[in-house]
Amino acid sequence: MNAEPFCRIARGYTAYSLSIPAANAIEVDDPEGLRFIGREDLNLLVWRRGRDAARLSALSKDTPDSQDLLGDTTSIHLRAQSLVHDTQTFVASLYDTRSEATDALEGEVFGLAALLLSLSGAPAIRPRFERVTHDGCRLFHTDKLTLRLLCTYAGAGTQWLPDAEVDRSALGRGSNAAVCADPGKIRAVRRGDVALLKGEAWPGNAGRGIVHRSPPARPGTGRLLLTLDLAL
């Protein structure tokens, strides 16, 4: 893969003196800190931005409970040169009418997509926003992509494992216990925080993608999840 789209992330940060824990993950308090994702010894970065109660409440209250929320968004891409229009098109594909939720989601998608486009230099982003009520990603796994941004607005956040606690030879065999013998080592991204996850296709990261899963589904509850993937 041509690594050129990632030069913007890596420039000036790969050699920066920063102590990376054995988990190969760090948390930062400022979006500028997301640029550290370019470091080779880091595969997860979490922006602890705090919980904006109004934003989270609006999305949770005014977002449909059913699968009708998710329209056919497979052809929608967010591009820097048309980000306002693309964001409006994406949100309009999910909601029938304007509401506090559409306003909140437009602000979220626009801000996070602009940040990710600036960080990566990628030509476009594929967005997805959905209410998750199933256990489809209950097994620990790595993503076969370059870089993914996740933010949970309602429900439990994405769970992940420190590298030191993972038996990668057990991935894909259907057993979470085989991947991590101690459930107490499982960590989670907080609701409202922004996570950048490196996948297997990140240049030089084959066999090192962050190991993660959706939290176990609970009856009567669901998650609101925004996913932004680089479209290369």
Coil, strand, or helix at residue 18? coil
Q: Where are the domains of the chain?
A: 4-11+21-231
Spell out the residues 6+ positions from residue 11 whose beta carbon is closer than 8 angstroms to its own: 38
Phi-psi region of 156 (alpha: psi -120 to 50; beta: other; left: phi over 0): beta
- Distance between CA 203 and CA 205 in Å, rounded? 6
Amino acid 144: pLDDT: 93
Amino acid 193: pLDDT: 93
Residue with the bigger pLDDT between 64 and 102: it is: 102
Q: pLDDT per residue over 88-145, tens digit each?
A: 999 998 888 888 888 999 999 999 999 999 999 999 999 999 888 776 678 899 999 9
Exposure of 53 by Cβ count < 10 A (0-12 exposed, 13-18 middle, 19+ buried)?
exposed
* Domain 4-11+21-231 CATH class label: mainly beta
Amino acid 5: pLDDT: 47
Phi-psi region of 12 (alpha: psi -120 to 50; beta: other; left: phi over 0): left
Q: pLDDT per residue over 11-53, tens digit each?
A: 444 444 556 666 789 999 888 889 888 888 899 999 998 777 6
- For the entire predicted model, the pTM comes to 0.88
Section 205-218 average pLDDT: 89
Mean pLDDT of the chain: 83
pLDDT at 67 over 70: no
